[in-house]
């Protein structure tokens, strides 16, 4: 890191750290260096700006806060990372390049990777040199990842990869992807899957962006045609990819933390303002949303650290967000058909009931794993 991070390394109290974060973000915004917040999925139009912002944060000592110093981080606690996320949300600034790299790939490699893998991948991920995508979902295995069919057949000291993935955000820009593929076809479905760190430039990898209703191309199809992967692309044990992936998905669902509450509180404030500008029917609809949102915010503040809250928060927030933009479009009337940020949000919202695990799957997880209800019958 550049000079400056060493001095801050002693400021480990959360109050001093927060003050430093506020100052850094304020100066970055004023200097035009900060990248505006874009949520969990990096917007293609902000791709280059987000990379520069990630490098700017790294050089200033504000990347990988709880990552070990040997990996390019600050060696602080996850509480410090939580404070950083909160202050980025307050400043409406992106906290990192993308969730798939910093949270999902980075945490998986720190938790499960070899020393060589940590050395190869972690620092370049923090600097923004290495952008990651997530290669989990398939046309026939989206929320049911255990049914995936992409194969990685062992061949000497390599694996030969064939199959297809879909809904992979930023795959057209990514240098690497975290990949689930079946290596043991005869094993029980969850035990025959392995987890790989895939070089997206290997011959046989084809990326096809998908145009969405918004006109953007955030998501991609990715095809593998006899892709020859080196054996050291395997993360963790062969056939042990399901456990690696479940930890990754837990990171994904629980990644928002306190910053998610701040974002939700901002939205609730906008609902209150909107309620004062509309008629009785509109006020009633917004009041219902406000009650649901306030209950969710209180629940997240009280139990946000409990991992069982992750599917509850994901489900409630996805459904609230969808109803929020739908009611907003109704209140705008014919103006809701005009181009603009509000219309883009309306077109984008249905996908958030699918991304990160569908609402139906979240209900199953809550019922079976949180409440201990009987499993859903398998057809």
In this structure, is the dihedral angle defined by the CA atoms of residues 260, 61, 66 and 196, taken in order, positive or negative? positive
Q: How far apart are the C-alpha atoms of 326 and 350, rounded to whole Å?
A: 10
pLDDT at 144: 74
What number is the average pLDDT over the span 252-257?
Answer: 53
Residue 252 is a catalytic residue: yes
pLDDT at 90: 92
Q: Of 166, 241, 171, 168, which is closest to residue 199 (Cα–Cα)?
A: 171
For 75, counting Cβ atoms within 10 Å of its Cβ (0-12 exposed, 13-18 middle, 19+ buried), the class is middle
Q: Of 336, 358, 335, 334, which is closest to residue 347 (Cα–Cα)?
A: 336
What number is the average pLDDT over the span 254-269?
Answer: 73
What number is the average pLDDT over the span 339-348?
Answer: 84
Lowest average pLDDT, out of 123-127, 185-189, 227-231, 290-294, goes to 185-189
pLDDT at 262: 83
pLDDT at 193: 95
Residue 24 · residue 60 · CB < 8 Å:
yes
What number is the average pLDDT over the span 190-217?
Answer: 93
Q: What are phi and psi of 67, to 5 degrees?
A: -75, 150
Residue 209 · residue 217 · CB < 8 Å:
yes
For 44, counting Cβ atoms within 10 Å of its Cβ (0-12 exposed, 13-18 middle, 19+ buried), the class is middle
What number is the average pLDDT over the span 55-81?
Answer: 94
What number is the average pLDDT over the span 268-291?
Answer: 85
In the predicted structure, residue 252 carries a pLDDT above the cut 90? no
Q: How far apart are the C-alpha atoms of 127 and 29, rounded to whole Å?
A: 19
pLDDT, tens only, 355-373: 777 888 889 989 998 899 9
Percent of the chain with pLDDT over 90: 55
pLDDT at 379: 66
pLDDT at 3: 37
In the predicted structure, residue 8 carries a pLDDT above the cut 80? no
pLDDT at 46: 94
Catalytic residue among 252, 344, 360, 368: 252
Q: Of 69, 74, 95, which is closest to residue 84 (Cα–Cα)?
A: 95
Q: How far apart are the C-alpha atoms of 115 and 232, rounded to whole Å?
A: 12
CB neighbourhood size of 11 (10 A): 15
Q: How far apart are the C-alpha atoms of 131 and 309, rounded to whole Å?
A: 29
What domains are there in the chain, each with its CATH number? Answer: 5-97 (no CATH), 133-240 (2.40.110.10), 256-370 (1.20.140.10)
pLDDT at 376: 82
pLDDT at 369: 87
């Amino acid at each position: 890191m550049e000079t400056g991070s060493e001095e801050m390394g002693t400021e480990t109290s959360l109050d001093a750290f927060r003050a430093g974060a506020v100052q850094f973000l304020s100066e970055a915004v004023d200097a035009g260096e900060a990248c505006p917040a874009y949520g969990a999925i990096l917007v293609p139009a902000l791709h280059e700006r987000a990379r520069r912002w990630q490098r700017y944060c790294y050089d200033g000592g504000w990347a990988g806060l709880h990552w070990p110093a040997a990996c390019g981080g600050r060696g602080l606690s996850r509480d410090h990372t939580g404070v950083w996320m909160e202050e980025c949300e307050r400043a409406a600034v992106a906290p990192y390049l993308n969730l798939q790299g910093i949270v999902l790939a980075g945490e998986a490699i720190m938790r499960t990777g070899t020393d060589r893998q940590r050395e190869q991948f972690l620092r370049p991920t923090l600097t923004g040199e290495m952008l990651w995508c997530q290669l989990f979902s398939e046309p026939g295995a989206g929320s049911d990842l255990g049914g995936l069919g992409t194969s990685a057949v062992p061949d000497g000291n390599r694996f030969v990869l064939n199959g297809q993935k879909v809904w992979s955000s930023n795959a057209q820009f990514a240098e690497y992807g975290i990949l689930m593929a079946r290596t043991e076809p005869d094993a029980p479905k969850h035990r025959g899957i392995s987890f790989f760190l895939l070089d997206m430039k290997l011959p046989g990898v084809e990326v096809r962006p998908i145009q969405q209703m918004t006109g953007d191309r955030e998501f991609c199809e990715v095809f593998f045609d006899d892709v020859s992967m080196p054996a050291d692309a395997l993360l963790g044990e062969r056939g042990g990819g399901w456990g690696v992936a479940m930890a990754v998905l837990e990171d994904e669902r629980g990644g928002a933390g306190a910053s998610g509450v701040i974002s939700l509180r901002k939205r609730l404030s906008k609902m209150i303002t909107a309620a004062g500008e509309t008629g009785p029917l509109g006020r009633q609809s917004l009041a219902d949303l406000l009650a649901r949102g306030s209950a969710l915010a209180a629940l997240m503040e009280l139990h946000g650290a409990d991992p069982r809250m992750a599917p509850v928060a994901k489900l409630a927030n996805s459904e609230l967000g969808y109803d929020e933009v739908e009611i907003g479009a109704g209140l705008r009337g014919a103006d809701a058909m005009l181009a603009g940020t509000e219309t883009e949000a309306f077109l984008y919202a249905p996908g958030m009931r699918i991304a990160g695990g569908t609402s139906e799957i979240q209900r199953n997880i809550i019922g079976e794993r949180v409440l201990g209800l009987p499993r859903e019958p398998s057809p």
